[in-house]
Structure 1
Amino acid sequence: MNNKNIFQKIIHNEVLAYKVAEDSDHLAFLDIYPIKIGHTLVIPKKSNRDKIFSLSEEEFISIMFFTRKVAIGIEKIIPCNRIGIFVMGFEIPHVHIHLIPMDKESDGNFYRKRMDLSSKNFQILSEKIKRSIQNM
């Protein structure tokens, strides 16, 4: 029986993800059901914790540094007033940070209808964001 959650499966390339950034400790990929175009998830690869403040101080600082880089890359590609950062993590027991391009506060409403993008649109968007981050 496989007890891996969806993020662990993404980390191990068992499930398709539209990755935008990766290093030895973190992974960033587009949310498959975004609330806004460019909605990205950032996760630690090695942590089995589900609460961000359960991370060690070093892990916390490291994921925030990585998250900042990803957010700046997204903002260069997606026209928006700012990138919102959300940490909730009730659905999947694995630390994860949501980065959402926003023009107004209501853009961060997780109860709104999620978008449905084609795999081609996800591929194009992920490549643009990835290049933006790599060129920093």
Structure 2
Amino acid sequence: MNKKNNNIFTKIINNEILSYKIAENKNHLAFLDIYPIKIGHTLVIPKKNIDKIFSLTEKEFLSFMSFTRKIALVLEKVIPCNRIGVFVLGFEIPHVHIHLIPMDQENDVNFSKKRMIFSKKKLVILSKKIKKYIT
């Protein structure tokens, strides 16, 4: 893999850096954001390194969205909230990713506000709690 494609998500996929994975299959990965907007903030990525979501083939896109839906439904069971927000931004890392964020109201999601910081222990506990519901 060339340096251009060696972003932080590629390193997470390759287990080169620590992450708090909650689900994984052959083509996708979901893990907790280590600097979440809200507790349970999860990132979902395809393992294929593509910069823009609509550059995925239709088959890849539908598979990715199906995986994302599965994760969102589990988050909604585990994290007390009114709904799970789905956000595709992708400016900070050139690799397709979806933010799933537990929300109670619209202003819960503001990407410019200061992020939360949790201990490794709390992230491990939360990831294990969520994994219990993944089928």
How far apart, CA to CA, are the structure 2 residues paired with 1:90 and 1:109?
Answer: 15
* 8 Å CA contact 1:73, 1:133 repeated in 2: yes
- State the partner residue of 2:118: 117
* 8 Å CA contact 1:72, 1:133 repeated in 2: no
- State the partner residue of 2:39: 37
What displacement does 1:49 show?
Answer: 1.4
Matched, 1:129 2:130: yes
| TM-score normalised by the chain length of structure 2 | 0.96
Amino acid at match of 1:21: A
Cα distance per residue 1:47-95 (max 9 Å; x no partner): x211101110000000000000000111111000000000000000000
How far apart, CA to CA, are the structure 2 residues paired with 1:127 and 1:64?
Answer: 23
4+ runs deviating over 6 angstroms: none
How far apart, CA to CA, are the structure 2 residues paired with 1:114 and 1:88?
Answer: 16
Matched, 1:88 2:86: no
What displacement does 1:127 show?
Answer: 0.5
The answer for unaligned runs of 5 or more in structure 2 is none
Matched, 1:73 2:84: no
Helix, strand or coil for the counterpart of 1:32? coil
Please list, as runs of the form range in 1=range in 2, the aligned pairs for 1:56-71 lying within 5 A after superposition.
56-71=57-72
Amino acid at match of 1:95: V
What displacement does 1:30 show?
Answer: 0.2
- Percent sequence identity is 70
Aligned length: 133
What displacement does 1:133 show?
Answer: 1.5
How far apart, CA to CA, are the structure 2 residues paired with 1:43 and 1:12?
Answer: 13
How far apart, CA to CA, are the structure 2 residues paired with 1:42 and 1:87?
Answer: 10
Cα distance per residue 1:10-29 (max 9 Å; x no partner): 00000000000000000000
- State the partner residue of 1:104: 105
The answer for unaligned runs of 5 or more in structure 1 is none
| TM-score normalised by the chain length of structure 1 | 0.95
* 8 Å CA contact 1:39, 1:99 repeated in 2: yes
How far apart, CA to CA, are the structure 1 residues paired with 2:88 and 2:3?
Answer: 26
